[in-house]
Amino acid sequence: MELFELLLKRHGARHWWPADTPLEVCVGAILTQNTNWVNVEQAIANLKRAGLLSVEALWEIDRERLAELIRPSGFFNVKSARLKEFLGWLLRRHGSLEAMFDGDWRELREELLGVRGIGPETCDCILLYAGGKPSFVVDAYTGRLFSRLGLIRETDHYEQVRSLFMDALPADTPLFNEYHALIVEQCKRHCRKTPICAGCPLAGLGCGE
C-alpha cells in the first residue's frame, strides 16, 4: 500500500478502463494483445462506426469482415478468431455477459482460462474491468517495476506475481483497478526499459536495474 500511495500521489487517479460498456472492455482486452492501446482504439472505433459492438452483432458478422475492421490492432486474423472463440463460448455457456458475471468469479476465471486465446492477463482484465471482480491484473510493466524493486524475480511466472498482490492487498476492485493503471503510468514515465530515475516517486526504495 505504501507503493500505491506514492504512485497515486504522483500520478493521480487514472480512471481506467477507457470503455463505454463491459463488452467493449472484453473486446479491447483481446485486441490489445501484442499491440498498443492507440491501435486498439482505432479498431474499436471501426466496430462502433459499423454498429457492431453487441454480442449478437459480433457473433453474426463474417469473420473475414471482422478481421478487416480490427486490422489496426495487428494480428487481425488471429484476433478475429479469438473474438469469435470468446463470443461462441459466452453464448453457449452463459447466454449473456450479465449472466457470465453473475456467478462466482473464481470459477469464472477458471472457465475463461480454458477459452482458446484467453490468457491470464486478458482473463483478469475482463474480470476486473468488465465484471468489477477483485482479480488483480499483471502485465509486463508489473514484472519490470516490481523486479527492479526486488519484490519479485524476473523469472517469476504470472500466477506467482499475481499472488503477491492478491495475498497482500484487500480484495477491493477499485484498488486493484487503480493500482494496475498506476503501475502502467509509472513505467511509461520512469520505469522504462531504459529507466528515467530522475524525479521518480519511488526513488530510495531500493530500485535498481
The reported pTM is 0.94
Cβ(101)–Cβ(63) below 8 Å: no
Report the topology of domain 22-130: Endonuclease III; domain 1 (1.10.340)
Least confident of 16-20, 28-32, 40-44, 54-58: 16-20
Give the model confidence (pLDDT) of 101-154 as tens digits: 999 999 999 999 999 999 999 999 999 999 999 999 999 999 999 999 999 998
Judging by beta carbons within 10 Å of its beta carbon (0-12, 13-18, 19+), is residue 4 exposed, middle or buried?
Answer: middle
Task: Say which residues have a Cβ less than 8 Å from residue 97's Cβ, sequence separation at least 6.
Answer: 22, 23, 26, 55, 90, 130
Q: How many other CB atoms sit within 10 Å of the CB of residue 144?
A: 18
Q: Exposed e or buried b for every residue in 163-200, given b needs 16+ CB within 10 A?
A: ebbeeeeeeebebbbbbbbbbbbbbeebbeeebeeeeb
Residue range 70-95, pLDDT digits in tens = 999 999 999 999 999 999 999 999 99
- pLDDT at position 206 is 67
What does the pLDDT read at residue 208?
53
Rounded Cα–Cα distance for residues 150 and 146 (Å): 6
pLDDT in tens, 54-67: 999 999 999 999 99
Domains of the chain by residue range? 2-14+136-189, 22-130
- pLDDT tens per residue across span 194-209: 999 999 999 878 675 4
